[in-house]
Amino acid sequence: MFKIGLRSNCISRAFLTKSSIRKFSASKLEGKIALITGAASGIGKETAKKFINNGAKVVIADIQTKLGKETATELGTHASFISCDVSKESDIAHAVDYAVSNYGQLDIMFNNAGIACHTPPTIVDLDLAAFDRVMSINVRGVVAGIKHASRVMIPQGHGSILCTSSITGVLGGLAQHTYSISKSTVVGVMKSAAAELCRYGIRINCISPFAIPTPFVIEEMRVYFPGVDDQGLAKMIHDNGVLRGAICEPEDIANAALYLASDDAKYVSGHNLVVDGGFTSIKNLSFPVSNEFESEE
């Protein structure tokens, strides 16, 4: 009887321990308030879901009002929506104020919104009007997000700011100039801001994903491959990956955002986290077979 009771007690303790571990691992952002731009779909939406599942309340800021409201409803009571065009500083300021007035604080700002660019790929044909439009969203929108998040985080004495860059900002030739320039600039903006914000206890980092067949990317690719269906476009993206047995998915970027936003990364700032399976680290050279390269023995 004693043995049975002892065994039962051990099982209960083991169960409680596992339950505690699950609860702890699912609450990395417990009590945190996050604002995510471009969160109506794609990476932003997946990140909002990940944050909520880890205890945060999330403000979804997006120019797509109908879709944004639907996403907030889908994600439940810990999600809310505000219309936001990141090319307008007043919209970003209002979104930040909305988060603070509704929840009393802002702990995480994820500057995720961005657009692609349909301009000729050559530098001599660069459309500077289109360039200015992309920069106003992909760069100026990020700067405005950092500015207004800092405005409320500095008095708090803490905060985590994230920005979406891209592997096209790490390695040249992966996209046409306008998009690549905008994304490499985001990394520079982040590093510049990190130099100041560290003195206030605010961390700021970038995430640079490999291409993912989100609606955003698929829409861009349709312009260049009009005869290929969405499944074929997705396969083209996945086939360009270099990490065997894995593909890059929105959840991978959401996991990276969760890490950088949480206390797991409490001493990580000014960093560009590249999530590409090693793509930008690899360059294979194929040499012709020749006696010149044979060792002499």
The 8-class DSSP code of residue 201 comes to T
CA–CA dist 169, 127 (Å, integer): 19
Q: Which residues of 11-35 are buried (b: 16+ CB within 10 A; e: fewer)?
A: eeeeeeeeeeeeeeeeebbeebbbb
Angle between helices 215-224 and 230-239 (to 10 degrees): 100
The 8-class DSSP code of residue 279 comes to G
CA 278 to chain centre: 17
Enclosing H/E stretch for 37: strand 33-37
Helix (H, G, I), strand (E, B) or coil at 164: strand
Asked if residues 224 and 230 have their Cβ atoms less than 8 Å apart, the reply is: no
Catalytic residue numbers?
A: 179
Short-list 137, 158, 245, 249, CA closest to 200: 158
